[in-house]
Structure 1
């Protein structure tokens, strides 16, 4: 069956006021609309669109006949989202499956209310996640080499010194001292613990960065030379954004430990459990395991549990969080990070009667795309209008969907996509 689903966007302070309303074709509310959840997670399950006068969620549908609507007789193991990021999210990490199971059980035994501010584990599942950019997206993700971090901190300290800020230069030098050591993993863990201890060097270093634009440009020829040499403009832009939104938050210093990644539309990153990250800006499609477990490491007014964070985070270095896609057929690509919970497909379609060029290679479009549906699919149209056809079903199934509309496709025969536009489809991992 092809079942239209819909949801109310979640309003978080970091969200855009217009990106999701524009996609959905509705008027902005004036409030930030950050995330559109398209799945069966209890935190915000999608609803069956216009089914009856009474709302029926996707959870209700699956529980009414799990063998027909669910995955192997159970709930969906993945959650598809559209993100509209106007300001940086919190620095965060998600537990692996064993950590989530143990942490959830411990908080249940302790009687910590699930809605409590200090609650770390809302469920017993892990939360790997994959993000594909719809616009340019910037993110902090994964620990980079400590030598690079020390180099950047030293340059910041030198720029502060050249600008005449001796106290700031000394504080930043103290930050650099905390990053010294032969074994990078305990150094990173020690730094995460230290930065939240209230050491006076932390707020002093943050004060030195509050006028980052002046430090980056330099107030004197010497300062300009110090700031310009070997300085990554994406790193400067990320620091500016973080300082503007969280000028006194220790997470600004934690961000220096992470890769800054700039994604063009169609590029992706994958973050496995235990990887520290924060999204900075942009509009994207995200798919993850069906969990909402988050432990935070700053850039937030929410609860930060440093002891639990440092217990579950992976302090190892990653070379790059980028996730390449693979071409399955003309117009169809997939991101398959090797987790059982999910994979994400993208179809690009053109109308031969109206379109002269269809692209080539990985970004090509096709007149028709066939997608297997051995397991349920959650589909969202992000551009144009498409037709969804299931000619081998008995009876045959057919639907039209435009930008912003979403469809739940039950497991069964393949679907055929035609029209003009771009479609993302989430399903169970391969």
Structure 2
């Protein structure tokens, strides 16, 4: 087999949407939040081989049966493809780099912390850079922004706050008294220090953004603060959010976050690909385990100049996101019939990218080299995936919400009318 349908059960985290994933997958809503669909061989939630045998098999078992044929360099997949359905803000979090992950995993193993324990920080020994591409409008807090922007917003909130104004103004002043990285470190330490001043600052923000008030901050930032305070009243992560870029993505736009970057996705539906890891260090905006000292040790407090990442057109109908890590890259293919392409109909058209250039339009046919295994999900329409040059030619008709594992080998050809995302090993 070279084209294999895979499936998985969405993970039911509290921040998930009750309807977005069921709608994409063609399932009836359960009434419970469904947050993440994992499509890979990570032990935390390995995908299953669909319709294979009466006995269920996972992608782990498939690769272990013939690692040279189905794995990467004789081992598991180095990437994990997900679909996120964000109904409420995610936790304020970061992921370790490779050195930190290996050391943290070994230390917790030596300390006897069970892998499934709620207070476990490191569930594996891998880093976790990640790329998120919006399917709907997505809002995300992504990496540290310039200190001057945070100072501006704090002073604007102070000016609009009936109470807590002096506290907000004082912490804004402190941010400019040290080098940016030191100032951010001190701010985060202060925010999670449980002092009376933190509570005063949070009350000041509540007053400044109350109904009918119009502080001199951006509309998106105002909406974000209101949303965070609705879901997490009194959480110091609300203050820390002011240090971060706030990005609003249109469908097809993306952010890339390397290891050690603080972030918190706020809303929307997205495809996400990352190194195959489940290491998450949280610092607020959550009811889950928080380890502030470890978070402070791991974080990169430098400014992230630009969290957005632009797709590059590879061929007609095909674009790619290549962040330059060995673990993964992501492709998006759009195909349509000849008449749809000619008249710009169906799912074929896309908006302009952020830099004003046209993203890859749909083509009648897209061909993609498969030097390493691929994991594919259809997000619109229906796409025929075939491998005409293989010794035993195969084809799979992949409808919206269906997923496919493609082993390394001959190129695949995509036709039909729809959109698919394909994750594979990094370039």
TM-score normalised to the size of structure 1? 0.94
Shift of 1:174: 3.7
Distance (Å, rounded) in 1 between the aligned partners of 2:420 and 2:26: 16
Residue by residue, what CA displacement relative to the aligned partner does 1:37-70 show, whole Å, maximum 9, x if unpaired?
0000000000000111211000000011100110
Say whether 1:272 aligns with 2:258.
Answer: yes
Distance (Å, rounded) in 1 between the aligned partners of 2:192 and 2:135: 35
| Aligned partners of 2:313 and 2:360 also within 8 Å | no
Say whether 1:206 aligns with 2:202.
Answer: yes
| Aligned partners of 1:210 and 1:247 also within 8 Å | no
For 1:313, which of 292, 299, 304 is the aligned residue? 299
- SS of the equivalent of 1:67 reads helix
Distance (Å, rounded) in 1 between the aligned partners of 2:230 and 2:121: 27
Distance (Å, rounded) in 2 between the aligned partners of 1:118 and 1:36: 23
Q: Does 180-189 or 379-388 show the bigger shift?
A: 180-189
Equivalent in the alignment of 2:362 = 365
Say whether 1:336 aligns with 2:322.
Answer: yes
Distance (Å, rounded) in 1 between the aligned partners of 2:340 and 2:367: 21
Equivalent in the alignment of 1:387 = 384
Structure 1 unaligned regions, length at least 5: 219-223
- SS of the equivalent of 2:239 reads helix
| Aligned partners of 1:192 and 1:306 also within 8 Å | no
Shift of 1:128: 0.1
Equivalent in the alignment of 1:242 = 228
Say whether 1:399 aligns with 2:385.
Answer: no
Distance (Å, rounded) in 2 between the aligned partners of 1:111 and 1:177: 44
Distance (Å, rounded) in 2 between the aligned partners of 1:178 and 1:23: 47
Shift of 1:209: 2.5
Equivalent in the alignment of 2:288 = 302
- SS of the equivalent of 1:33 reads coil
Equivalent in the alignment of 2:87 = 86
Please give the root-mean-square deviation of Cα atoms over the aligned residues, in Å.
Answer: 1.3
Equivalent in the alignment of 2:354 = none
| Aligned partners of 2:328 and 2:426 also within 8 Å | yes
Equivalent in the alignment of 1:183 = 179
Distance (Å, rounded) in 1 between the aligned partners of 2:45 and 2:190: 36
Structure 2 unaligned regions, length at least 5: 351-357
- SS of the equivalent of 1:375 reads coil
Shift of 1:319: 1.3
Distance (Å, rounded) in 2 between the aligned partners of 1:322 and 1:290: 22
Equivalent in the alignment of 2:239 = 253
- 1:27-38 aligned at under 5 Å gives the runs 27-38=28-39
